[in-house]
Amino acid sequence: MSGRERGSGGAAALDFTPAPGAAPFPRMVLAQAGAEIRAMLRNGEQLLLTLIIPVLLLVGFSLAPLIDVGGGRRIDFLAPGVLALAVMSTAFTGQAIATGFERRYGVLKRLGATPLSRAGLMMAKTAAVVAVEGIQAVLIVAVGLALGWRPQGSFLGAALLVVLGTAAFSGLGLLMAGVLRAEATLAAANLVYLVLLGAGGVIFPLSKFPEGVRPVLEALPISALTGGLRSVLAEGAALPLGPLAVLAAWAVVSLALVSRTFRWE
Amino acid sequence: MAMESPAVEIVDLVKRYGGTTAIDGLSLRAERAAVTAVLGPNGAGKTSTVEICEGFRAADSGTVRVLGLAPDRPELRPRVGVMLQAGGVPPAMRCGEWLRLVSRFYARPLDSGALLARLGLSDHVRTPYRRLSGGQQQRLSLAAAVIGRPELVFLDEPTAGLDPQARHACWELVGELRQAGVSVVLTTHHMDEAERLADHVVIIDRGRVVAEGTPASLTGAERQLRFRARPGLALEELLNALPAGSAAKESPAGHYIIEGLVGPELLATVTAWCAAEGVTADDLRIERRTLEDVFLELTGRELR
C-alpha cells in the first residue's frame, strides 16, 4: 500500500471489486415505496390537497348549513364524498404531478438503470398511494365520527370501490403525467381536481344539477366513487354494481392507454 | 467455456433523430477491467452512444453488445452502473437518502456512508439534492453509479462542473475502480482527462470514430517545440534552415509551434535563428503532441 492519504472524514477503505446482484424483488419495491411515501408526506402542496382540504371541507360543510344535501344528515352525505375526494387527490392529482416531475427530472430514467423493474416501480407507486390513502381514511373517518357520522353498510363494498377508484384515478393521473409536460400536468391536474370537486357529487349533490348534464356527470369516475360510497356507507347497500362498473371501465381504459402512451423520458 | 466478451462492443451503429444523423456508422470496443474514454466535442454523439449502451435508446441499425448481451436485457441492470450527464434525482430527496435508496436495489452494495465520506459528501447527508452545488450533485451521481458494485460503469461527463480538487478525487476513484477490475466507459471533452485516465481513447466527431488507441499511440512519438515571441515572424526563412519534413506555424498570434525531428540540432537551429532575428523566444519548451492537437489535425476543428 502506498499509504496515500484519504480525504478528510476518515472513510473506510471501499472494496470496489465487482459483486453485482439485484436485491430480492420485495425489498426493492418496499424501499421504493418507502421513498415515495416520504416524498408525499414531505410535500406541502400535496398535503394540502390530500389531507387539509378534505378535512376542512368535511368540517366546514358539516357544521355550516351552506349546502342542501336533499334530506338526511349533512355529515352522512359529506363523509363518503370527502373519502372519495381523498382517493382522487392522492391517486390522481398527487400522483400525476409527482410522476410528471419525476419524468422531467430524469428520475424515472435513472431508476430504469437500477435493478428495480418498471413493474416494480409501478407496484411501489401503487403501494405508496394505498398507504397514504390509509392515512387519509383514518383521519377522515376519525373526524367524521367526531362530527357524529354513523357509517353503515358493508366494509367490503366500500373497500372494493376504493380499490377500483384508485386504479381508475391512477390510470388517469399516469396518462396525464406520461404525455404532458410537467408544468402542463401540474396545471391540468389541479384544474381537473377543482372541476371534479365541484361537479362530481363530492359536496354538491348531483341532483342539484340540470337534468340534461346529469348522465354525463354520473359517468365521471369521481361521481361513481362518491355515489357508490354513499349508497354503501349512507344507505347500507352491499355492492353498488353501477358505480363499480363505471370505475372498472375507467380503470381498464386509462391503464390500457397508459401502457401504450407513457414516456419514461 | 466461451471467451469472455468485451465490456462493450459496437459495430456500425447508426442513430438518427428526425433528419439529423447523430451516430453515423460508429464501431468501438471497450475491454474489460480497462478505462475507455470516448472523447469528442459537444454534439459528436458521445451521449447518444452511451445511452444506447445503457439501454435508454434504441439503435436505428448496427449491433451493440454490453457484457455480451443486448443493452436492453434486464439482467444487465445489476451488473452495470450508470451516471447520467445531469439530474436523475428528485430535488427534495436528501443526499444520503437517495444513495441509501439506490443501495437497497442491490444484493451486495457498498456502505453508503463510507462512499459519501470517500467523495467528500459526509457533511451533506441531510441536504436536499436541489441545494447541493453542481459539483456535489455530480459526485452523488457518481456514488450512485458505483454503489451496487457493478462490473461495468458508464460515466457521462463525470467531471463536468467539478472544481479541480473534486476532479482529482473523481479521477482517483476511477483509478481505483480500474484496479478493482471494474470496466469503465466514460465520455469527456477534456483531453487531459482522457490522457490521464484512459487505457484506450476513442476520438469521435460527427458520429464517427476518427481515431482510437492508447493515449501514447495517438499522440505518437512526435514532439513539438513551442515558444512565444512577437507576432508575425517570417517562418518561411526559418523553415529553410530546418531539416526537410519540418513544419512551423503560428497559432494563435505570437505562439509558435515547430514540428519535425525535434532534437538538439533543431533546437539549436531555432534559437540561432531567433538570435539572428533579434527575437527573444519566451517560454520555449519541447513537448509531445497532445490529444488536442490530434483532434485538430483529424477534424480541422477545435475540440471545444
Nearest to A7 among B80, B90, B120 (CB): B120
B187 and B234 assigned to the same domain: no
Looking at the structure, tell me whether residues B39 and B158 fall in a common domain. Answer: yes
Region of poorest pLDDT, from A205-209, B78-82, B136-140, B295-299: B295-299
Same-domain check for residues B140 and B255: no
* Distance in angstroms (rounded) separating the CA atoms of residues A210 and B284: 91
Which residues in chain B are contacts of A42 at CB distance < 8 A?
92
Say if residue B85 is in the same domain as residue B28. yes
What pLDDT sits at residue B1? 44
Residues B184 and B277 both lie in one domain? no
Residue B175 located in a structural domain: yes
* CB–CB contact B107 A23 (8 Å): yes
CATH code (residue B55): 3.40.50.300
Q: Which whole number is the average pLDDT over B214-220?
A: 80
If pLDDT is split at 50, 70 and 90, which confidence band does B201 have? very high
Contact call for residues A88 and A190 (beta carbons, < 8 A): no
Query: Which chain A residue has its CA at the smallest distance from B170's CA?
Result: A7
**Measured in whole angstroms, how far is the alpha carbon of residue B238 from the centre of its chain?**
37
- What's the whole-model pTM score? 0.83
The whole-number pLDDT of residue A188 equals 95
Q: Is B259 inside any structural domain?
A: yes
pLDDT, tens digit (0-9, with 9 covering 90-100), for B52-102: 999 999 999 999 999 999 999 999 999 999 999 988 999 999 999 999 999
Residues B167 and B245 in one domain: no
Please answer whether residues B82 and B154 qualify as being in contact, where contact means their C-beta atoms are separated by less than 8 angstroms.
yes
Domain end marker among B201, B216, B231:
B216
- The verdict on B12 and B105 lying in the same domain is yes
Q: Count of CB contacts below 8 A, A vs B?
A: 130
Are residues B153 and B30 part of one domain? yes
pLDDT value of residue B98? 97
Q: In this structure, is residue B304 part of a structural domain?
A: no
Are B204 and B231 members of one domain? no
Provide the edge-to-edge strand list for the sheet that holds B8-17: B20-30, B8-17, B61-66
Model confidence at A63, in pLDDT bands (50, 70, 90)?
Answer: confident
User: Taking CB atoms and an 8 Å cutoff, what residues of chain B touch A27?
Assistant: 104
Domain end (from B216, B244, B278): B216
Is residue B210 located within the same domain as residue B226? no
Contact B106 A21 (CB under 8 A): yes
CB contacts of B144 in chain A (<8 Å) are 110
A18 to B107: CB separation less than 8 angstroms, yes or no = no
Region of poorest pLDDT, from A64-73, A126-135, B22-31, B59-68: A64-73
H or E segment to which residue B258 belongs: strand B255-260
Report chain A's mean pLDDT, rounded to a whole number: 90
The domain total for chain B is: 2
Alpha carbons B78 and B249: distance in angstroms, whole number: 52
Is residue B56 domain-resident?
yes
Range name among A52-61, A147-156, A189-198, B249-258 with the lowest pLDDT average: B249-258
pLDDT at B163: 86
Residue of B149, B165, B167, B174 to mutate when probing chain A, most A C-beta within 10 A: B149
* CATH number for the domain that contains residue B273: 3.30.70
Grade residue A10 by pLDDT with cuts at 50, 70 and 90: very low
pLDDT band per the 50, 70, 90 thresholds, residue B302: low
In a domain, B293, yes or no: no
Residue A185: its pLDDT value, please? 93
Flag whether B210 is in a domain.
yes
Grouping H, G, I as helix, E, B as strand and the rest as coil, residue A23 is coil
In the stretch 89-128 of chain A, residues with CB closer than 8 A to chain B read: 101-102, 105-107, 109-110, 112-117
pLDDT band at B166 (very low <50, low <70, confident <90, very high): confident
Q: Can you tell me whether residue A132 is helix, strand or coil?
A: helix
Scan for cell 394540502, then name that residue.
A48
Per-residue burial over B48-69, b = 16 or more CB atoms within 10 Å of its CB, e = otherwise = bbbbbbbbbbebeebebbbbeb
Q: To which residue does cell 387527490 refer?
A: A89
Give the burial string for B229-249 (b: 16+ CB within 10 Å, else e).
Answer: beeebebeebbeebeeebebe
Q: What average pLDDT does the segment A106-132 reach?
A: 93
B198 and B244 inside one domain: no
Cα(B6)–Cα(A258) distance, integer angstroms: 38
- Residue A147 pLDDT more than 70? yes
Side-by-side strand order, sheet with B80-83: B80-83, B152-156, B183-188, B35-39, B200-205, B208-213
Last residue of a domain, one of B216, B238, B265: B216
* Residue B275 sits in the same domain as residue B153: no
Which pLDDT does position A5 carry in this prediction?
Answer: 40
Query: ipTM surpassing 0.95, yes or no?
Result: no
Q: Indicate the DSSP class of residue B131.
A: G
d(CA B96, CA B94): 6
Q: H-type helices in A147-220, by residue range?
A: 155-179, 182-199, 214-218
Whether residue B1 lies inside any domain: the answer is no
Would B96 be classed as within a structural domain? Answer: yes
Domain that holds residue B179: 8-216
Of A55 and A69, the structure prediction assigns the larger pLDDT to A55
Residue B164 has pLDDT above 90, yes or no: no
| Residues in chain B within 8 Å Cβ distance of A19 | 107-108, 149
Enter the C-alpha cell of residue A259.
401502457
**Which region among B2-6, B69-73, B235-239 has the lowest average model confidence (pLDDT)?**
B2-6
- Count of helix runs (H) and strand runs (E) in chain B: 10, 13
